[in-house]
Structure 1
Amino acid sequence: MATNRSRRLRKKLCVDEFQELGFELNLGFKEDLSDDAIDAFLDAFLIEAMDANGLDYVGGEDYGLVCLEKRGSVSEEQRTVVEAWLKGRSELTSVDVSPLMDAWHPETPIKPVA
Structure 2
Amino acid sequence: MATNRSQRLRKKLCVDEFQEVGFELNLDFKQDLDDDAIDAFLDAFLTEAMDANNLNYVGGEDFGLVCLKKRGSVNEEQRAVVEGWLKARSELTEVTVSPLIDVWYPEKPINPVA
The TM tier, using the shorter chain, reads over 0.9
Partner of residue 16, structure 2: 16
Counterpart of 2:89 in structure 1 is 89
Distance 1:75 1:111 in 2: 13
Q: Could you say which residue in structure 1 is the equivalent of 2:30? A: 30
After the TM superposition, which residues 23-62 of structure 1 pair with which residues of structure 2 at under 5 Å, given as runs?
23-62=23-62
Distance of 2:113 and 2:33 partners within structure 1: 43
- Amino acid of the structure 2 residue aligned with 1:9: L
Gaps of 5+ in 1: none
CA deviations on 1:1-37 (whole Å, 9 max, x unpaired) are 2111110000000000000100000000001100000
Which letter maps to 1:58?
V
Kindly report structure 1 stretches of 4+ aligned residues shifted beyond 6 Å.
none
For residues 58 and 31 of structure 1, the distance between their equivalents in structure 2, rounded to whole angstroms, comes to 23
Q: Between the two proteins, what is the percent identity of the paired residues?
A: 82
Q: How many pairs were matched up?
A: 114
| In structure 2, distance between residues paired with 1:17 and 1:98 | 22
Q: TM-score, normalised by structure 2?
A: 0.99
Aligned residues: CA RMSD? 0.4
Consecutive unaligned residues in structure 2, runs of 5 or more: none
TM-score scaled by length of structure 1: 0.99
Residue type matched to 2:98 in 1?
S
